[in-house]
Chain A
């Protein structure tokens, strides 16, 4: 389990308790958080669950796959060094307290 805090582009934040193995995209969409779409259902195919991961915690995450990196080239909002796809980040105790910021737009 991990408590993940999502902060949308207007600064509004919501914290969701995610079961192990749930992706950050699933956690957000299931809780009805605006700002993450996950159009493809979480199979790393659409780049509509773009998020900015708290920079000092980037090291707690597995490296992005080549496919994720390729999709990050096609995100709708600015790509930053801490850009990730939320569907590729799975909750585990190591992520407790992680904060992710959501971009202005996903499409």
Chain B
């Protein structure tokens, strides 16, 4: 009988499992998670969950009965130690082995840690898992009691979302960023500035172009502050480190699969072993031009998950849709469509002062990406434009009187 084992019970893992069942797979299906919790939504961890506005049943992606009904055998708290490709089995930390006819790697990514003295002090935390979020929430409560400030290292999405949540709790927050602006790798400069203004207006202290030399600790090993390269020390009761993630490709590497800062897959989620597919944050997708694309997003997890499940069932279903992402900070929803790398011209559509507008990224005449703030309709329209490679001109993009939907009419 055929049996598929899925390593990783996050967004990609659950998607593969359900897509396999929806695609008619009737063999055994085992979903292995290394956390104590069943599959849960990660996006709220930095927001509603951290703020204490959600209960744990709402965080769960599926009720246990829903998994049982689809005969998805979820096993939590399980660590896979080895993939034996010759014997076609995975070995678990308890010494047992699980045979597979098809294997799915959905192992996610891990936050990068600070390679600095004191980087592992108590109260220096990253945010990836529910347990991480709970630890941050506890430390925030401690900061509230002791009236201690929070320092966020890294002005990326995770860091800024945590900063917004900390402000909601009334905590003093400073964000330290090595670059001269927030979200510099993704946003147009004009939007980085707008976000800086947004955070400042909510009372966040932003420090740019800064270098950290060490984390200062108390005698009990807990964090007391952050020492900057100029020698100054900023006191802190909690340091949240949001400086990016690394793909969890160690199992795949050890098994001899092609990896390059991620498990290398094609558009269908196939790895270099025909019986193994991979999906989600752990992957690096080979593009037609040979370059590798690493995406960390819900959409990437779900779409690659569907493609990977199809591949195991012998169906060709490449994931080629425009990438999209979102980030909620305060009452502002940022939705990004496309990849802005290489943009050299930008057009703003709408009034930035109104809090609802979009920034269109162009390389020459070609539309690369659109970032929308509190403008969901425009975001959905942008995805259609990008999916069909239709570019408005810069002037059309900037002109709110011009209806971009007319470009889509065929």
User: Are B63's CB and A30's CB within 8 A?
Assistant: yes
A9 located at the interface, meaning its Cβ lies under 8 Å from any Cβ of chain B in the complex: no
A5 located at the interface, meaning its Cβ lies under 8 Å from any Cβ of chain B in the complex: no
User: Are A41's CB and B377's CB within 8 A?
Assistant: no
User: Are B326's CB and A45's CB within 8 A?
Assistant: yes
B213 located at the interface, meaning its Cβ lies under 8 Å from any Cβ of chain A in the complex: no
The minimal Cβ–Cβ distance linking B371 to chain A, given in whole angstroms, is 13
Chain A residues in 8 Å Cβ range of B41: 41
Chain B interface helix/strand/loop/mixed: helix
Candidates B60, B335, B381; contact of A74 at CB < 8 Å: B381
User: Are A32's CB and B381's CB within 8 A?
Assistant: no
The minimal Cβ–Cβ distance linking A94 to chain B, given in whole angstroms, is 20
A22, A40, A71 — most chain B CB neighbours (10 Å)? A40
Interface residues as binary, B302-342 with A (CB distance below 8 Å gives 1, 0 otherwise): 10000000000000000000000010100001010000000
Chain B residues in 8 Å Cβ range of A74: 377, 380-381
- The distance in angstroms between the C-alpha atoms of A29 and B58, with both chains bound, is 10
- 7 A-B pairs in the complex with CB atoms less than 8 angstroms apart: A29-B61, A31-B65, A32-B18, A32-B70, A43-B328, A67-B376, A71-B376
- The distance in angstroms between the C-alpha atoms of A73 and B18, with both chains bound, is 29
**CB interface residues, B 40-66, toward A, < 8 Å:** 41, 43-44, 57-58, 60-63, 65-66
B interface, size bucket: 20 to 34
- The distance in angstroms between the C-alpha atoms of A67 and B67, with both chains bound, is 33
> Known: A30-B60, A34-B22, A39-B299. Contact between A45 and B376, CB under 8 A?
yes
Question: How many chain A residues have a CB neighbour from B under 8 Å?
Answer: 21
The 7 closest A-B pairs by CB, nearest first: A32-B66, A70-B377, A74-B380, A45-B376, A30-B63, A41-B43, A31-B66
Chain A residues in 8 Å Cβ range of B381: 74
Chain A residues in 8 Å Cβ range of B335: 45
**CB interface residues, B 58-83, toward A, < 8 Å:** 58, 60-63, 65-67, 69-70
* Closest B residue by C-beta to A31: B66
- The distance in angstroms between the C-alpha atoms of A31 and B18, with both chains bound, is 12
User: Are B376's CB and A32's CB within 8 A?
Assistant: no
A47 located at the interface, meaning its Cβ lies under 8 Å from any Cβ of chain B in the complex: yes
The minimal Cβ–Cβ distance linking B76 to chain A, given in whole angstroms, is 17
A30, A44, A45, A73 — most chain B CB neighbours (10 Å)? A45
User: Are B298's CB and A41's CB within 8 A?
Assistant: yes
Chain B residues in 8 Å Cβ range of A70: 376-377
The minimal Cβ–Cβ distance linking B336 to chain A, given in whole angstroms, is 11
* Closest A residue by C-beta to B62: A32
A26 located at the interface, meaning its Cβ lies under 8 Å from any Cβ of chain B in the complex: yes
Chain B residues in 8 Å Cβ range of A45: 326, 333, 335, 376, 379
A49 located at the interface, meaning its Cβ lies under 8 Å from any Cβ of chain B in the complex: no
User: Are A32's CB and B377's CB within 8 A?
Assistant: no
Chain A residues in 8 Å Cβ range of B43: 41
A53 located at the interface, meaning its Cβ lies under 8 Å from any Cβ of chain B in the complex: no
